[in-house]
Each structure stands twice: as structure tokens, then as C-alpha cells.
């Protein structure tokens, strides 16, 4: 671990979870991978702390995946011997989440919602944390710049840091501001955008499903089919055939 790690994160968590909002999944995170995650988040100033009323042996790390499935923000949930009254929204939510983590298997959908609520509450109200205090929605020019940048790179791909740099923000602050602005995580937004692009391309009969998938940034056709079906309700081939019937 880094020798300059702030005292607010000591003792360090020995266990945690990674939250993936897009897939409504929660995965255990421990051992060396956890240590590396904490070190990387601290180096990028993307590690925050939430003190909550409760009693557990060690703090817990809640890590959040970004649009590409990489961890972009971590919150260390640290118990304190204090009444819940007067504590922040993030603190009260953290106490609920810790109790949910005691259940096996995880109640994943509900747990993801609580974790995201903690992230938003922490980003909006926490003072002096690395996730950035008083995170607000993106300015109009930032929203337009981010959308134009991502639209131009749907096929080749990009990282959250790439987009955040276009807006003059850190990855952690940008991720929170983006969700506040668009009502979805960057990953969710990108998938939706790629599916919309695929729908436009599918009106052209000369484009195969493989070609459409690759042009829209899906590395595998099975992933393209799964995401398209989830958002549109039918597989891309069926959707194309239905469009032919409707326009005939």
C-alpha cells in the first residue's frame, strides 16, 4: 500500500464488493485484487470515505465500475460508535448496505440501488473527499462535448478518463455528474447509444449483423444480440424483419 495513504482510510478494508450497475450485479472483492484496487483509486484521487453508525470488524470497500467495466470510484464504509440521528443520508444508507452484505446470496438488484444512492449522496454532500464535494450536473457545453466525443468513437471505444478529460474533470467527478445529467451511468448510456446506432444501420439490408455489431462497438455478436434484445425486446434479426413488414 502507498505510504502516503490518508489516516481516514486506516485500517484498510480487507474485504469489499464491486458494483456493476449495468448488469445489476455485485461481486466479492478481497485479497491482492482488493489491495491493488485501493492503491489505484488512491493514486487517482478516486477514493472516498463514508462513516456510518454500526459495528463491524473492519471497514468495507464499495467499488463502482465505469462505462467500460473498470473500477472508477471507491468508497470506504467505516463504522463509528454514534447514533444514526443527525448523520448524513450517505451514512444512513451505508448502514443499510452493510446489513444487506451480510445476506448470502446478495440481494443484488436492491443492493446495487442502495450503493448507487450512497454514491450520489456522497458526491453531492460530502466535503473534502476525493470523489469531489458539491458535484453538480454537467454544464451544457460539457454535455455536448462528452456526447460528441463518445459518438465519434463508438466503434473504437474509449475510457471514462478520456471523456472526463474533454470536460476538464476527474473520472470520479465526471461519472457522478454524468449520472446526474443523463439519469444513467456512462456504461448504460453508451450501450443505449450503440443499440440506437445499430437500429439505424439495420434498416440497410446490405449490412450483416456481424458488420453492424462491429461498427457499433460490440466486440462479439452474442454481446450485441444480448444487449439489443434487452433494450429493444427482440433480437436484431427479428427487429429487422419486423421493420420490413411495417414498411412494406
Residues 200-216: pLDDT tens digits? 999 888 889 999 999 99
Tens digit of pLDDT for each residue in 137-162? Answer: 888 888 999 999 999 998 888 888 88
Would you say residue 76 has pLDDT above 60?
Answer: yes
Instruction: Write down how long the chain is.
Output: 248
135 lies in a domain? Answer: no
CB 90 within 8 A of CB 50: yes
Helix 171-182 and helix 140-151, axial crossing angle in degrees, nearest 10: 100
Number of domains in the chain: 3
132 lies in a domain? Answer: no
**Torsion angle (degrees, nearest 10) of CA 87, 90, 93, 95:** -60
- If residue 246 lies in a helix (H) or strand (E), which one and from where to where? helix 236-247
222 lies in a domain? Answer: yes
Residue 243: which domain range?
188-247
Comparing 77-86, 108-117, 230-239, the range with the smallest average pLDDT is 77-86
DSSP 58: S
- What mean pLDDT is predicted for residues 168-191? 85
Is the same domain home to 193 and 158? no
Opening angle at CA 113, ends 148 and 151, nearest 5: 10
130 lies in a domain? Answer: no
Is the same domain home to 11 and 110? yes
Would you say residue 124 has pLDDT above 90?
Answer: no
Q: Bridge-partner residues for 26, per DSSP?
A: 19
131 lies in a domain? Answer: no
Q: Which pLDDT belongs to residue 205?
A: 81
52 lies in a domain? Answer: yes
Would you say residue 38 has pLDDT above 50?
Answer: yes
The whole-angstrom separation of Cα 90 and Cα 202 is 44
Is the same domain home to 53 and 95? yes
**Residue in 227, 222, 145, 242 with CA at minimum distance from that of residue 193:** 227
Q: How far is CA 131 from CA 119, 140, 174, in A?
A: 9, 21, 9
If you average pLDDT over each of 125-129, 140-144, 224-228, 242-246, which comes out highest?
224-228
Please say whether the dihedral angle defined by the alpha carbons of residues 30, 23, 212 and 197, taken in this order, is positive or negative: negative
Amino acid at each position: 500500500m502507498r505510504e502516503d495513504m490518508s489516516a481516514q482510510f486506516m485500517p484498510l478494508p480487507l474485504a469489499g464488493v464491486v458494483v456493476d450497475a449495468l448488469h445489476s450485479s455485485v461481486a466479492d472483492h478481497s485479497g491482492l485484487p482488493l489491495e491493488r484496487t485501493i492503491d489505484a483509486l488512491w493514486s487517482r484521487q478516486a477514493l472516498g470515505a463514508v462513516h456510518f453508525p454500526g459495528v463491524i470488524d473492519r471497514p468495507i470497500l464499495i467499488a463502482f465500475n465505469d462505462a467500460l467495466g473498470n473500477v472508477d470510484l471507491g468508497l470506504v464504509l467505516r463504522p463509528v460508535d454514534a447514533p444514526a440521528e443527525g448523520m448524513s443520508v450517505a451514512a444512513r444508507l451505508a448502514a443499510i448496505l452493510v446489513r444487506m452484505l451480510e445476506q448470502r446470496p446478495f440481494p443484488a438488484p436492491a443492493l446495487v440501488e442502495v450503493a448507487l444512492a450512497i454514491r450520489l449522496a456522497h458526491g453531492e454532500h460530502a466535503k473534502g473527499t476525493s470523489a469531489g464535494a458539491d458535484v453538480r450536473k454537467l454544464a451544457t457545453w460539457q454535455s455536448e462535448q462528452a456526447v460528441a466525443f463518445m459518438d465519434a468513437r463508438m466503434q473504437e471505444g474509449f475510457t471514462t478518463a478520456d471523456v472526463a478529460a474533454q470536460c476538464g474533470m476527474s473520472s470520479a467527478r465526471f461519472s457522478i455528474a454524468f449520472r446526474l445529467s443523463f439519469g444513467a451511468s456512462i456504461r448504460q448510456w453508451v450501450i443505449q447509444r450503440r443499440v440506437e446506432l445499430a437500429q439505424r444501420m439495420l434498416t440497410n439490408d446490405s449490412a450483416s449483423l456481424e458488420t453492424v455489431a462491429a461498427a457499433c462497438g460490440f466486440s462479439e455478436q452474442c454481446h450485441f444480440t444480448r444487449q439489443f434484445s434487452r433494450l429493444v425486446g427482440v433480437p436484431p434479426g427479428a427487429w429487422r424483419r419486423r421493420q420490413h413488414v411495417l414498411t412494406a
